[in-house]
Amino acid sequence: MKVGFSKVDITPEPGYPLGGFLERYLGENKSKGTLNPIYARAIYLNDGKSEFVGISLEVVVIENGLAKEIREKISKALGLPRNNVAIFATHTHSAPDTMKEIWLYKHFLPEEYFPLIEKYRKFLVEKAIQATNEAKANAEETRLFVGKDIAEGACANRISPELVSDPEVYVVFDEEKRGAFINFTCHPTVLHHNNMFYSGDFYSYVDVPGKIFVFSTGAAGDQSTRFVRKSTGPEEAERIGKIIKEAVLRAMEKGEEIPNEFSVYNFIVKLEKRDVKEEKLNEKLERKARELEKMLEKITDKGMLRKIENALGAINLMLQIYDVYEQELKKMPDTFDAEVSILRFGKKLAIVFIPVELFCKYGLEIKRESPFEHTFIVTYANGYLGYMPTKEAYEEVDYEALATSLKPGSAEKLTDEIIKKLREIY
């Protein structure tokens, strides 16, 4: 099999608005410079019968329109099927904002920011194509391996450390170890909203000189460093990055060879729009706000304090704009197409690409129920439909359940359909 890797700088000059944190949308959020360069990274595969390319962008999300444009242009440039192009975000919150479609962010952004966002999106299209071309040009005949290890202490459930998390680091790499496709289940958000410098966050500190790492994020909708980090500065991002890097290098020492041919499967799962009247969301928000205000008076733990402040801020904001929210929901279609792609290597490995922020519980279920020896999930892939929380998160009106347009039960439906497809293609 021919395998190629590439890494292309996508760091712009200072002055672009940063994405990710809601606090930034309520105040000044233009970048002041660069802490770490950010990159488009690509892996190219050719098994003699077909080609596949996966492109990782160090940005917060790649919205549906942008993902569609990139995939179609790469498909045309390389002459391969659109379904054989996967584009995914690492979800760093320290990169230029790319969002112009999601109503919540559009609502708060100053008009002057939109030309900058559009300019950067066009730049990303060019760089994604460049990364793809370079990965193909660098391709060499080799064998592929898969390995995994544990990054202990690098991440936890951000709703509560008592809830499930996934410390596995998956690595797919070539025999010469020129590069690797890496998957870890955690929000790369050590650096906070008060950081005004470009960075890939902890992923910037996982890089190894002489190798090209293509980063992807697993089912991390409720996973972050909130309860494991010691601070929110660059030195802490470096500490956590080092934990992940050591797990990556250990995994590359004990990899298992995977088949030298692959198949790509693509299918659509129809997901329904939420009905906030049916959920009685307004009443739940008012009740929850009162509960959180009382809790704030007693909390001393920094991680829990951050969680409650986040939740209360989001709820109060949603109460202020509730009528706008209802009107925006009415404009949306009744159903959304969640496009799922699966990259399959015999019975050894299945990589699932999905356009949502899936909660960890469901990622673990997909891994557990998959018939393949190894399975991992890449989120923020081929578009973006928002958070996909548990039913409990909807009931508790957690932040993630406020920032989604999907109906409760969507995560269960998507998970069931993915498991069904994995069993079908095994």
Q: Are residues 155 and 289 in the same domain?
A: no
- Residue 46: give the domain boundaries: 2-264+339-425
Q: What is the residue-level pLDDT of the chain in tens, covering all 426 positions?
A: 999 999 999 999 999 999 887 777 777 789 999 999 999 999 999 999 999 999 999 999 999 999 999 999 999 988 999 999 999 999 999 999 998 887 766 777 778 888 999 999 999 999 999 999 999 999 999 999 999 999 999 999 998 899 999 999 999 999 999 999 999 999 999 998 889 999 999 999 999 999 999 999 999 999 999 999 999 999 999 999 999 999 999 999 999 999 999 999 999 999 999 998 899 888 888 888 888 888 777 777 777 777 788 778 778 888 888 888 888 888 899 999 999 999 999 999 999 999 999 999 999 999 999 999 999 999 999 999 999 999 999 988 888 888 889 999 999 999 999 999 999 999
The pTM (predicted TM-score) of the whole model is 0.94
- Cα separation, 269 vs 332, in Å, equals 17
Q: Would 71 be classed as within a structural domain?
A: yes
Do 311 and 378 lie in one domain? The reply is: no
Are residue 184 and residue 323 in the same domain, yes or no? no
Q: CA distances (Å), 406 to each of 286, 356, 365, in order?
A: 21, 10, 20
Q: Which amino acid is at 2?
A: K
For residue 269, being part of any structural domain is answered with no
Side chain identity at 80, as an amino acid letter? L
What pLDDT does residue 285 have? 87
What confidence score (pLDDT) does residue 61 get?
A: 95
If asked whether residues 360 and 233 sit together in one domain, one would say yes
- The total number of structural domains that make up the chain: 2
Q: Is residue 81 domain-shared with residue 17, that is, in the same domain?
A: yes
Tell whether 231 and 305 lie within a shared domain.
no
Whether 32 maps to a domain, the answer reads yes
Same domain, 251 and 288: no
Domain-located, residue 178: yes
Statement to judge: residues 86 and 132 lie in one domain: yes
Q: Pick left, alpha or beta for residue 322 (phi over 0 → left; psi -120 to 50 → alpha; otherwise beta).
A: alpha
DSSP-derived pairing of the beta strands 39-46 and 168-174: unpaired
Please give the DSSP secondary-structure letter assigned to residue 17.
B
Chain center to CA of 145: 23
Domain edge (last residue) among 313, 331, 349: 331
Choose the final residue of a domain: 310, 331, 352: 331
* Cα Rg, the chain, nearest whole Å: 20
**In this structure, are 228 and 212 located in the same domain?**
yes
189 and 294, same structural domain?
Answer: no
- Confirm if 220 and 188 have CB atoms less than 8 A apart: no
pLDDT for the residue 244: 98
Per the DSSP assignment, residues forming a β-bridge with 159 are: none
Task: Answer yes or no: do 91 and 233 share one domain.
Answer: yes
Residue 130, H or E segment: helix 113-137
Q: How far apart are CA 219 and CA 158, in angstroms?
A: 13
Do 144 and 126 reside in the same domain of the chain?
A: yes
